Structure 1
Amino acid sequence: AEGVSAVFKLGLKGVIDGIEYEIIGRIRYQEEEEYELSTWDEWLAVNTADGSYHWFVEEDGAIFLYGDYVPQSINLEAANNTFEFDGRSITKNRGFVARIVFHEGELTWRPELGEPMTVYDFKNGGTYFTIEQSEGEVSISSGKKLAYKAVLQAFRKDEYLEQYESTIKARKSYRNKAWLYLAMSVIACGFIVRGCASGTRVEGVTNNRLVITDNAKMTEQGQGTVYNSEVLYGPVTLDDPENLYEFSITADQSVQQLSREWQSFRVMLIAEDRLKALAPTIDREHAKAVNDALDDIEFQPDPVESYVFQGDFWDEDGTDSEGYWHESDTSLSKSFVMQDPGNYYVYLSLFSEKPRKTESVSVGLSRGMKSSLYFPIILGVLGVLMLYNRAKSRKYNELPFPVDG
């Protein structure tokens, strides 16, 4: 305990509010909580003018000055886990147990290491109060919080005042930076919201619709019989590589209800020239050739598709200890950046446990705000910078002891 840095030390003299104090003793207390250990120092000071005793309390970078106080009324055994103090009822939940772990210098009594006491700290108006209750003795004191700079000017001006002012200046700079990054984060959030809200629908995605397969029965290992449908839309022109696009795939309940079943989908975006290299003519008369070409996509030496999005719709219900429940997911969306502008086909593959209409799944494509994909990344970086500077504005310290504020 002797090696712990503190503002005060024995023998120091300083003037606070026109009164000179001399530090003559110290007691270190320790509060033992379940998950943390906290300590604070109480320095005994004598008023050099009249010989009265006072305590400078140094805790977590804050400094208080206390003196003896005689209340008008006090009852520590009031009802309902409270005590009465100057006509005010105060809960005993404020109390905690502290023990003496170190002492030095001259003191008004002879303390014993490990000696426990119950402490009640509370504030009434602008005054701080402390009640310390040990076996057979109760002491009451009142005090005020002191400005840290005023204490350093009084007791350690030549040693630490310059470092203190440098610390406060740096903390202010970090605090201003934290506010700046917070403001920039709010602006970035605004751009993200605007980007999500300002997307425009890409027209003509489903104008040309070619059903290639309609509820073809097939057997999947582990799932039994499933039904497969395949639809080709387009071509549609996607001509802005700087825009953020978004696919929206929805099970349209107005066409066919999805009830206690599942349906999986896969959407591919395929460049027109790539698909026509495999199937030169794309129409209903050549649907089988198109189907064969699409079935062979996975076996091509180079990828044919430019983008793939897949997901599942489902609807289920049941009962548990809380009663009946019903859950479903019938709409999914995903954003992407179009690398190469041009004309594209949208290839939709559907798999379901029951026959379903191909019209029951709607495909939407929208174009978002330019570069909005990068704003979430920027927002994350700004958030980290804001938290870092906020922490530094509280913890940065050039002094060898904690500083409040």
Structure 2
Amino acid sequence: MVRYPNSHQPKVLILYASYGEGHLQAAKAIRDALEEQGNDRTVMVDLMAESHPWLNEMTRRVYLKSYTHIPYLYGWVYDVTRPMKHNSLFGGFLHSFGRDKIRKLLQKEQPDAVIHTFPFFALPSLHHRKLKKNMNIPTYTVITDFDLHRRWVHPGIGRYFVATDDLKQELGSLGIHPGRVSVSGIPLGRGFRGTLSPTFELYEKYGLRADQPVILMMPGAQGVMPDSGELCSHLLEQLPNTQIALVCGRNNVLKSSMESQMGHDKRLHVFGFVNEVHELMALSTCLVSKPGGVTLAEAIYAGLPLFLYRPVPGQEKKNALYLQSKGAASIAYDPEELAAAITGLVTNPEQLQRSQMAVQRLQTKEAAADNIAHHILQEYDWNTKFGQRYS
């Protein structure tokens, strides 16, 4: 990779949102990749938290509650707004959030490029309306799901980074020129930028046995996937020669509950938030999870067949259906169905191999974060294309 001297470093503004963990993780991964390629002038901003703190907190709580209280309402809203155009009445309303904050950020930070890992389009909208005033800062969108909601799409976006060829084709059907879309994959943390082999030391670190398949269960960073206790109980009962690594994330209540209820079973290993989740994935045979885009991308990178439990209507169900259509994932809606599907995988070497190959077909050749950072640093001639500034 090219390393840029300080005198040629662009200043990059990354906008993300704290709805779930994925958008933030993607933003951090791009920041780290830029830094590794010699650029240390990156500014990260949680746009909604900065511009509308009260509204941000309220909508974050509603978003998290949607998994257990109002999933079908959330899914209905997602589906109704999915074909929404940027210049529709409601689209214009959504794109207005954060516009004043972005204007102030541009004046303060004077960035040379802006990256979105969440569909905020206050900047492209502002950019699009004021081209005559030379407000021409390159804007990049990093789509962090396997489904395309039209809120990601705006004529002011210079380049899109997407997870799959199918997303690139879908953007093309909406009039986005193929040259403006790069199939990069979804950006992941540093641990997912190389091959990690299972070693005795890794098994020992996590208290796992090397002679039994490991079912990795990740209910999400907030531990919101339902029925975790019942799922573990069924799996341990149906698969006596299998062990489970349950990652509870930041849900300390779930962690304490699982330890008190099932801590006597030595085949169940309960963890809180795990920073080096790539290590656990390297030891695992498959992953049981909610279908958040970044978690799915991590599993794909690690080559893990996926079991997606009761996906919430909206982008996560769309993610699940897409991966199922590719043979990389199975969807289950009750513990018995899930246990039967996993039993069929871990006890049938041919089925396991077919699933692994389906996952591998979704892998990209390069680590997404490195690819995105390299694209941004190479795509522009900083001396001739960034002379104009916002004022």
Pair member with larger Rg: 1
Q: Per residue, is there more strand in 1 or in 2?
A: 1
Q: Per residue, is there more helix in 1 or in 2?
A: 2
Same fold (TM over 0.5): no
TM-score tier (shorter) = under 0.3
